[in-house]
């Protein structure tokens, strides 16, 4: 088995601040994802990465940057936090043959 | 615009009853569907997948897929309070690494 670790679990930022969320997986999966989930809602794709050093924009990429410098890690940066923004950011990885997404526990963001 | 539509938004069923959830994609390139379940405060976990026309059953859970209409449904028989959760439908196309999720159906099973 494997695990996806997201840090931090909770992130409180100020309006306009640049904030970075980190994700590590030890599944040895090639593809990794960042999704945003607003309270009680579905998942919206921000960025995904097919392999190391690859980046692909999702439907919600504006206002975010991403980085995949190693196969095991995928970082997401909120370039300028919006006041009163609250959401959970979920990282996932995918084993291509299993065709299943495995999710981390999430980072809960609050912006004051 | 959401390319994966789920209905209903929320659903209440009595314990022991049948829950039926629907999902349709508006993207003709979609080939595969998944159902994920997310309990409150937890991360989503894959429940069932379906890639071919027809039906697939695993215990109390049955999924149907109609590829012509790009419609899938999830049916939960003998519903239990522990089935109360947000059910998310995901879709993707062959050779496509992008998984698009719907807004979810919130199921509540009452004793």
Cα–Cα–Cα angle for B37, A19, A10, rounded to 5 degrees? 45
B61 touches chain A (CB under 8 A): no
| Beta carbon pairs, A and B, within 8 Å | 53
Which of A43, A48, A100 lies closest to B98 in CB terms?
A48
B11 touches chain A (CB under 8 A): no
Which of B43, B46, B103 lies closest to A90 in CB terms?
B43
B19 touches chain A (CB under 8 A): no
Mean pLDDT, range B67-96, rounded to an integer: 95
Using a pLDDT cut of 90, give the percent of chain B over it: 88
Task: Indicate if the pLDDT at residue A1 is higher than 80.
Answer: no
Q: What is the pLDDT of residue B2?
A: 55
Mean pLDDT, range B55-71, rounded to an integer: 96
Mean pLDDT across chain B, nearest whole number? 94
Task: Indicate if the pLDDT at residue A46 is higher than 60.
Answer: yes
Contacts of B96 in chain A (CB under 8 A): none
Q: What is the pLDDT of residue B96?
A: 82
Mean pLDDT across chain A, nearest whole number? 94
Mean pLDDT, range B39-67, rounded to an integer: 95
Contacts of B9 in chain A (CB under 8 A): none
Report the residue of chain B nearest A48, measured CA to CA. B98
Task: Indicate if the pLDDT at residue B1 is higher than 60.
Answer: no
B99 touches chain A (CB under 8 A): yes
Pairing of strands B54-58, B32-38: unpaired
Q: What is the pLDDT of residue B97?
A: 87
Mean pLDDT, range B87-100, rounded to an integer: 90
Integer angstrom CA distances of residue A89 from A19, A45, A60, A86 = 12, 10, 12, 10
Is A2 exposed, middle or buried (CB count within 10 Å of its CB: 0-12, 13-18, 19+)?
Answer: exposed
Task: Indicate if the pLDDT at residue A84 is higher than 90.
Answer: no
């Amino acid at each position: 088995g494997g695990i996806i670790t997201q840090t931090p679990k909770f992130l409180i930022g100020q309006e306009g601040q640049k904030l970075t969320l980190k994700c590590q997986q030890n599944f040895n999966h090639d593809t990794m994802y960042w999704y945003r989930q607003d309270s009680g809602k579905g998942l919206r794709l921000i960025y995904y990465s097919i392999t190391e050093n690859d980046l692909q924009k999702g439907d919600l990429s504006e206002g975010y940057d991403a980085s995949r410098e190693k196969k095991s890690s995928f970082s997401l940066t909120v370039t300028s936090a919006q006041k009163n923004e609250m959401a959970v950011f979920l990282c996932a990885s995918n084993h291509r043959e299993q065709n299943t997404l495995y999710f981390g526990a999430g980072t809960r963001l609050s912006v004051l | 615009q959401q390319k994966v539509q789920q209905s209903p938004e929320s659903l209440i069923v009595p314990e022991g009853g049948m829950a039926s959830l629907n999902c349709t994609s508006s993207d003709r390139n979609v080939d595969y569907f998944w159902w994920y379940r997310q309990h409150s405060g937890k991360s989503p976990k894959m429940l069932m997948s379906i890639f071919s026309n027809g039906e697939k059953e695993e215990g109390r859970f049955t999924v149907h897929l109609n590829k012509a209409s790009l419609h899938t449904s999830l049916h939960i028989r003998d519903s239990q309070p522990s089935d109360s959760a947000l059910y998310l439908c995901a879709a993707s196309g062959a050779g496509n690494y992008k998984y698009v999720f719907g807004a979810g159906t919130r199921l509540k099973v009452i004793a």
